[in-house]
Structure 1
Amino acid sequence: MSAPSPSASAIRGRVIAVSIAAALGGFLFGFDTAVINGAVDALAGAQSGFDLGVGLKGFAVSSALIGCAVGAWFAGPLANRFGRIPVMVTAAVLFLASSVGSGLAFGVVDLIIWRIVGGFGVGAASVIAPAYIAEVSPARMRGRLGSLQQLAIVTGIFVALLSDALLADVAGGAAKPLWGLTAWRWMFIAEAIPALIYGIMSLRLPESPRYLVAKGEFEKASEILTTVTGTVDVKAKITEITGTINTERSESLRDLRGNRLGLKPIVWVGILLSVFQQFVGINVIFYYSTTLWQSVGFGESQALTITVITSVTNIVVTVVAILLVDRVGRRIMLLVGSVGMTLTLGLMALAFSFGTLENGAVTLPDPWATIALICANAFVVFFGATWGPLVWVLLGEMFPNSIRAGALAVAAAAQWVANFFISTTFPAFAEIGLPFAYGFYAFFALLSFFFVYFKVAETKGKELEEMKDDARVERRRRAERT
């Protein structure tokens, strides 16, 4: 006799636990990219021994993004060859090595190298965690469980900023000594704790049934489909997975080619969604906000506290977005977000135009300092409730089945490149003037409104099978006519 099938509540609890464990990769994604926020000023100071100039300061912050692009590019093929779990464990090891290496760095060169190593882990986690969650989740829960990745990212950002603030507060400043090292070094080393937890929990996760079927391990796949996913007709599901895998093996990036500058129009829409998401400057807030608030008169402790409050706001509005997206729709939320971001960024640019330079720091008179603070947090609200999570939702829905994997890879790569550009150029933009920097981001927020209005279709309520590859359909029609 076969073992009795687990109850619905047992399956629900098991798949939620598995998804939370996998989403820890997203948590480390957010933590690793934001942890430098509290350390960057101490690194730039002469007393650190690093004494970073403007260009090198920007590169030290954004260097991890180089590793992100590489990690994301290779994570898929490695996961298909060795399995999802080994890639997760590898990512955890990379996070651990980066945290300790960055914290004990001797100079700027090895700091950048260790940041790039951490980027490999971030890139791998950004691809593997959502893919794994989708593959083990029952269809009825996939949307909510998939949203755990975005929630984990913003939570990781919050915890990184909170730990930065606490360590700086205990030491009396990020550049002050603490427990035998300077405080900014402990900011990096703190990441070792969640990295270890992620690695240990990854080892306890079941392998993806999709990978097991691809490797011909049908018995193991059947067990996971029954006990984790709650599949009733396991044989039919395995047959369906086998058919999908066989279809995907015949595809390549060549299928993305089209008549719009070498790519299909829908691929360009995905790329531009990714670029606009970064070109509104959201990561300037999370990477440089402590520097920003110190430049307008706040002390280091106050600036770190404001940054933590901003990250909490980001978590709250991400939850709001998850609750609204299937009710309101993707397109209208993006349009509202574009308007809100344009207004808040424009007001920030205006506020900083009233600043005066004193001893190398910008000082804002009242009421412009208050306006800048309110607008920065309002910008995070508009972004976090719309463009932050919804771009990832659209990228998962908008492409036809025949090109989805390849188009997602290209769009994700474009996002990392755009992130790298914005993060690297901010110090140079700030040297030109903060009104210029925030005016630049406001301009792209305005452009994003018109882009969504004219080029982005609504996907709410549509099945993935409804997303058609028009060029492929037309080729098939011509072939049938001949």
Structure 2
Amino acid sequence: MIENQAKVYPKANQSFTLLIACTAALGGFLFGFDTAIINGAIKALYQAFNATSWTIGLAVSLALLGSAVGAFYAGPIADRFGRIKTMIVASVLFTISAIGAGAAFGIWDFILWRVVGGIGVGAASVIAPAYIAEVSPAHLRGRLGSLQQLAIVIGIFIALLCDYAIALAAGSAGNPWLFGVSAWRWMFWSEIPPALLYGIGGLIIPESPRYLVAQKKEEEAATVLAKVIGGDVQTKISEIRETVLRERKPKLSDLLSRNGGLLPIVWVGIGLSLLQQFVGINVIFYYSSILWQAVGFSEQDSLWITVITGATNIVTTLIAIAVVDKFGRRPLLLLGSLGMTITLGIMAITFNNAPIINGQPTLSGTTGTLALVAANLYVFCFGFSWGPVVWVLLGEIFNNKIRASALAVAASIQWVANFIVSTTFPPLLTTVGLGSAYALYGIAAAISFFFVWFFIQETKGKELEEM
């Protein structure tokens, strides 16, 4: 209990709230950076390790299974040891992975280091939205929650830009660069500085006030709440106390209903996570450089196109941040679903009708421009809707009692879905073709519209204790 009921706390400080939210969102930056940095190195990995398409596919996809593991266990760990300590562990995993992947001797130890990084990615994917939601005032929570996705897309953009710059400086990702070390190795080592910065930031920012209340550290919680929301701090702590059930630790069993199945709201979170991935967005960010090369673009042009796509993603996420608390979550998701359905349909038709040369569809002239524009419009539609808004909703829709655990389940399912999409894309490419693959993603986008229409309720402006 708060010992001194008359204590006067400082007024709310929005700059402080923004600062700690941005620090937490560094996990999102590393999430995006770590998953995208392999894009520019894939062709060089084939050559460096004499790898097959199967082992390269594992190098990309097994890291995602590591992310599923990290996401699943991050929630219970965060409930037991705190959000901050979990962030620091994730920082260590990112750093170790970056060093190991860049120094790998063969494809299998490279895969091991990527899995280690994947565990860090999974943990960051759970902790950042949970922490940001728990420290944000209700009227700012949508925008601050969108920082997670903004950080992810900036991380993707910076990773692709690093790939492009390093490959350009060396002439190719497989060529020697600084100190005679292959350029692709420097691509992975470029993750070390932000990984260390994330850990340092975690040592500075305060613990989540809702976690502190659950640990009966209400005086510390009151100090944090006074800085981030101001007003009647004592009443807010009473509300939090009622929802976090201080008498026992949260458990995964809290996610079960009386009949033994998952709570309906957990299924909603799982549905959001599955559909965010099944629309195929990560095909663009994991395989785009070799995808554009496969249809006639050079290595450097393909990498430059991925940089443009990354920049498009950032701009649209900024748009989402500006409007998510004004227009709400549900309208943005519905509009994004419509846009993705249309643009994926255009890409499916374009690639299905492209002439086949040497067994590959080849785009040139107007068709090449149309495919490029449609791909970036698709990223635009995802970027202002399903990219940021899903993370905002996953931080909001679960009540205080189950938030970390439910987020862990939803995020781990998201990584499994990402794994499925990433591992099935190469076989789809060689069997049914690129056009049919995009048609499948377009069907998922259409389904996402009806999922939102029937199952998603608006959360704009609601306090977390109302969920």
Question: TM-score normalised to the size of structure 1?
Answer: 0.87
Question: Residues 254, 218 of structure 1: CA spacing in aligned structure 2 closer, same or farther, 3 A cutoff?
Answer: closer
Matches within 5 A, 1:15-34: 15-34=17-36
Displacement of 1:401 in angstroms is: 6.0
**1:444-466 deviation per Cα after TM superposition (whole angstroms, max 9, x unaligned):** 12222233333334444555566
- Alpha-carbon contact 1:58-1:425 (below 8 Å) kept: no
**1:134-173 deviation per Cα after TM superposition (whole angstroms, max 9, x unaligned):** 3333444333322211111111111111111100000011
Determine if the alignment matches structure 1 residue 386 to structure 2 residue 391.
no
Whichever residue aligns with residue 106 of structure 1, its letter is F
Determine if the alignment matches structure 1 residue 200 to structure 2 residue 200.
yes
Identify unmatched segments of 5+ residues in structure 2: none
Question: Residues 398, 348 of structure 1: CA spacing in aligned structure 2 closer, same or farther, 3 A cutoff?
Answer: same
Displacement of 1:182 in angstroms is: 1.3
When structure 1 is superposed on structure 2, of 245-254 and 102-111 the one drifting more is 245-254
When structure 1 is superposed on structure 2, of 357-366 and 140-149 the one drifting more is 357-366
Task: Specify the alignment match of 1:186 in structure 2.
Answer: 186
What secondary structure sits across from 1:39 in the alignment? helix
Task: Specify the alignment match of 1:472 in structure 2.
Answer: none
Displacement of 1:395 in angstroms is: 3.0
Whichever residue aligns with residue 78 of structure 1, its letter is I
- Alpha-carbon contact 2:330-2:456 (below 8 Å) kept: yes
Question: Residues 263, 237 of structure 1: CA spacing in aligned structure 2 closer, same or farther, 3 A cutoff?
Answer: closer
Question: Residues 456, 222 of structure 1: CA spacing in aligned structure 2 closer, same or farther, 3 A cutoff?
Answer: closer
- Alpha-carbon contact 2:157-2:311 (below 8 Å) kept: yes
- Alpha-carbon contact 1:354-1:364 (below 8 Å) kept: no
Determine if the alignment matches structure 1 residue 171 to structure 2 residue 170.
yes
Task: Specify the alignment match of 1:48 in structure 2.
Answer: 48
Matches of 2:247 and 2:29, distance apart in 1: 30
Whichever residue aligns with residue 32 of structure 2, its letter is G
Determine if the alignment matches structure 1 residue 111 to structure 2 residue 110.
yes
Question: Residues 345, 260 of structure 1: CA spacing in aligned structure 2 closer, same or farther, 3 A cutoff?
Answer: farther
Question: Residues 285, 67 of structure 1: CA spacing in aligned structure 2 closer, same or farther, 3 A cutoff?
Answer: same
When structure 1 is superposed on structure 2, of 390-399 and 91-100 the one drifting more is 390-399
**1:222-281 deviation per Cα after TM superposition (whole angstroms, max 9, x unaligned):** 44344x335454444444433333268476444544599944444333322221111110
Determine if the alignment matches structure 1 residue 289 to structure 2 residue 288.
yes
Matches of 1:198 and 1:126, distance apart in 2: 14
Larger gyration radius, structure 1 or structure 2: 1
What secondary structure sits across from 1:367 in the alignment? helix
Q: Alignment partner for residue 38 of structure 1, among 20, 29, 40?
A: 40
Matches of 2:188 and 2:35, distance apart in 1: 11
Task: Specify the alignment match of 1:212 in structure 2.
Answer: 212
- Alpha-carbon contact 1:71-1:123 (below 8 Å) kept: yes
Displacement of 1:122 in angstroms is: 0.9
Task: Specify the alignment match of 1:395 in structure 2.
Answer: 394
Determine if the alignment matches structure 1 residue 243 to structure 2 residue 245.
no
Pairwise CA RMSD: 2.7
Matches of 2:428 and 2:25, distance apart in 1: 35
Matches of 2:10 and 2:296, distance apart in 1: 60
Whichever residue aligns with residue 210 of structure 2, its letter is R
Task: Specify the alignment match of 1:477 in structure 2.
Answer: none
Question: Residues 291, 101 of structure 1: CA spacing in aligned structure 2 closer, same or farther, 3 A cutoff?
Answer: same
- Alpha-carbon contact 1:50-1:107 (below 8 Å) kept: no
Identity, % of aligned pairs?
59
Matches of 1:266 and 1:222, distance apart in 2: 29
Question: TM-score normalised to the size of structure 2?
Answer: 0.90
- Alpha-carbon contact 1:222-1:234 (below 8 Å) kept: yes
Determine if the alignment matches structure 1 residue 434 to structure 2 residue 399.
no
Whichever residue aligns with residue 17 of structure 1, its letter is L
Matches of 1:27 and 1:248, distance apart in 2: 36
Task: Specify the alignment match of 2:424 in structure 1.
Answer: 425
Question: Residues 459, 98 of structure 1: CA spacing in aligned structure 2 closer, same or farther, 3 A cutoff?
Answer: same
Matches of 2:208 and 2:448, distance apart in 1: 37
When structure 1 is superposed on structure 2, of 199-208 and 380-389 the one drifting more is 199-208
Whichever residue aligns with residue 202 of structure 1, its letter is G
Whichever residue aligns with residue 446 of structure 1, its letter is A
Matches of 1:462 and 1:3, distance apart in 2: 28
Matches within 5 A, 1:17-416: 17-44=19-46, 47-53=47-53, 55-179=54-178, 180-226=180-226, 228-229=227-228, 231-246=230-245, 249=248, 252-257=251-256, 262-359=261-358, 361-399=360-398, 404-416=403-415
What secondary structure sits across from 1:105 in the alignment? coil
Whichever residue aligns with residue 333 of structure 1, its letter is L
**1:403-436 deviation per Cα after TM superposition (whole angstroms, max 9, x unaligned):** 5554433322221111110011111111111122
More relative contact order, 1 or 2 (CA 8 Å, 6+ apart): 2
Identify unmatched segments of 5+ residues in structure 1: 468-482
**1:93-119 deviation per Cα after TM superposition (whole angstroms, max 9, x unaligned):** 110110010011111111111011001
**1:361-384 deviation per Cα after TM superposition (whole angstroms, max 9, x unaligned):** 542243221111111101001111
Matches of 1:264 and 1:4, distance apart in 2: 41
- Alpha-carbon contact 2:125-2:411 (below 8 Å) kept: no
Divergent runs of 4+, >6 A: 1-4
- Alpha-carbon contact 1:354-1:365 (below 8 Å) kept: no
Matches of 1:222 and 1:154, distance apart in 2: 33
When structure 1 is superposed on structure 2, of 129-138 and 344-353 the one drifting more is 129-138
What secondary structure sits across from 1:115 in the alignment? helix
Task: Specify the alignment match of 1:479 in structure 2.
Answer: none
- Alpha-carbon contact 2:143-2:325 (below 8 Å) kept: no
- Alpha-carbon contact 2:428-2:437 (below 8 Å) kept: yes
Displacement of 1:36 in angstroms is: 0.7
* Aligned residue pair count: 461
Matches of 2:255 and 2:24, distance apart in 1: 30
What secondary structure sits across from 1:298 in the alignment? coil
Question: Residues 358, 42 of structure 1: CA spacing in aligned structure 2 closer, same or farther, 3 A cutoff?
Answer: farther
Matches of 1:132 and 1:279, distance apart in 2: 26
